[in-house]
Amino acid sequence: MAKKLFDYQLDEPVEGFFLLKDAEVRIAKNGKKFLAINFQDTSGEISGKFWDANDQDVENFQAGRVIHLKGKRENYQGNPQIKIQQMRLTHPGEPQDVQQFVEHAPLNTAKMEEELNQYVFEITEPNWNRIVRHLLAQFHDAFFSYPAAKKNHHAFAGGLAYHTLSILRLAKSVADEYPHVNRPLLYAGAILHDMGKTIEMSGPVSTTYTLAGNLVGHIVLIDEQIVKACQQLKIDDQDESVLILRHMILAHHGLLEYGSPVRPHVMEAEILHDLDELDASIQMMQTSIGHAEPGNYTERIFAMDGRNFFRPTHDATKGDLDSQD
């Protein structure tokens, strides 16, 4: 069986077929072009630099294409990197299907949809329920296939729905522990909070940001869709119930400098922000720890202040990691 990207150890030669998740043209200090690349397969992604790229290289090596790579696994500033020795497009008869190189959510669409619908049933406030159902139907296919981010957390096909479902599970635990929490509001906010990413991003393969994504962003984009849904459903968009639901989405990044137009001023909005942060952080740490050998540190996680994390050699829940990896 062919090795995957993260099967290769430090300084080990790398050879195989991989997907170009990103291939950005940049200019080096010497004035020559190079490609800043992220190689991808189902184990994750690793960056590399293709130096002295000519116009034909730029034309050939575009994001979304499968290539054959020869190189060496290295580390650069604490992060894994591939030193590219040779790279070419695939030949007839070689792997061509990009889907076989794309990481997917641990649950399939049918299972995620079935579980998510159970939470929808518990949104007992009529306006919230109607709005949630309307937007889930409108963005259904993208919602269950898109990643939750281009690179950071849940950056895999189906990651958006899986991240949403994870937050709903956490929300249920919080609501069970604290009876005064408005469960229907928390569930409605959780389902809608990142749905704007279906407009902000291009899709699950070689994900990029759309023009609307770069200029407006997913928070405002889904807020606009809530207002449009109210108009189509004949709901007063100035009703307190709608304004509170919109506030849940507008405040879920927590701080103005993190992209929220307003800070949380409703208890459930603060809870949603905290759960969003918790799930994103745990998923990023889990991914990085899975790429590290027991007794070693992970790569640095940019979205977590550049910190890295230690993978213990012994896990009390799993026994000796060295005997299992």
pLDDT (tens digit per residue) in 277-311: 999 999 999 988 988 889 989 888 888 888 999 99
With bands split at pLDDT 50, 70 and 90, how would you rate the model's confidence at 316? low
Q: How far apart are alpha carbons 109 and 146 in whole angstroms? A: 11
Q: Which two tokens stand for residue 83?
A: 């030193």
Q: How far apart are alpha carbons 59 and 49 in whole angstroms? A: 16
**Of residues 190, 194, 184, the one with CA closest to residue 167:** 190
> Is the pLDDT at 138 greater than 90, yes or no?
yes
> Is the pLDDT at 274 greater than 70, yes or no?
yes
Query: What is the pLDDT at residue 255?
Result: 79
- Average pLDDT on 125-133 reads 98
**Of residues 272, 274, 248, 271, the one with CA closest to residue 261:** 248
Q: How far apart are alpha carbons 310 and 294 in whole angstroms? A: 8
Does domain 109-283 bear CATH number 1.10.3210? yes
> Is the pLDDT at 317 greater than 70, yes or no?
no
With bands split at pLDDT 50, 70 and 90, how would you rate the model's confidence at 153? confident
Residues ≥6 apart with Cβ < 8 Å to 113: 144, 161
Q: How far apart are alpha carbons 23 and 91 in whole angstroms? A: 20
> Is the pLDDT at 154 greater than 90, yes or no?
no
Does domain 5-101 bear CATH number 2.40.50.140? yes
What are the DSSP calls for 1-45, one per residue? -PPPGGGSPTT-EEEEEEEEEEEEEEE-TTS-EEEEEEEEETTEE
pLDDT (tens digit per residue) in 31-82: 999 999 999 999 889 999 999 999 999 999 999 999 999 999 998 887 889 9
- Average pLDDT on 112-126 reads 97
Which residue spans within the chain are E strands per DSSP? 13-27, 33-41, 44-50, 66-76, 79-89, 314-315, 319-320
Q: How far apart are alpha carbons 252 and 217 in whole angstroms? A: 13
Query: What is the pLDDT at residue 1?
Result: 66
With bands split at pLDDT 50, 70 and 90, how would you rate the model's confidence at 318? low
* 45: amino acid identity, one letter: E
Three-state DSSP class for residue 294? coil
> Is the pLDDT at 320 greater than 60, yes or no?
no
- Average pLDDT on 219-238 reads 97
Q: How far apart are alpha carbons 123 and 62 in whole angstroms? A: 44
**Of residues 186, 159, 306, the one with CA closest to residue 252:** 186
- Average pLDDT on 89-117 reads 93
In the chain, % of residues over pLDDT 70: 96
- Domain range summary for the chain, segments of one domain joined by +: 5-101, 109-283, 291-323
Q: How many CB atoms lie within 10 A of CB 197?
A: 27
| Average pLDDT in the chain | 92
Torsion angle defined by CA atoms of residues 280, 282, 288 and 294, in that order, rounded to the nearest 10 degrees: 180
Query: What is the pLDDT at residue 119?
Result: 98
Residues ≥6 apart with Cβ < 8 Å to 169: none
Give the total residue count for the chain: 325
> Is the pLDDT at 325 greater than 70, yes or no?
no
- Average pLDDT on 120-148 reads 97
> Is the pLDDT at 206 greater than 80, yes or no?
yes
Q: How far apart are alpha carbons 19 and 263 in whole angstroms? A: 39
Q: How far apart are alpha carbons 105 and 103 in whole angstroms? A: 7
> Is the pLDDT at 12 greater than 50, yes or no?
yes
pTM: 0.87
Buried/exposed code over 241-252 (b: 16+ C-beta within 10 A; e: otherwise): bbebbbbbbbbb
With bands split at pLDDT 50, 70 and 90, how would you rate the model's confidence at 151? confident
Residues ≥6 apart with Cβ < 8 Å to 149: 155, 159, 197
Q: Tell me whether strands 13-27 and 33-41 are parallel, antiparallel or unpaired.
A: antiparallel
Residue 73, strand partner residues: 82
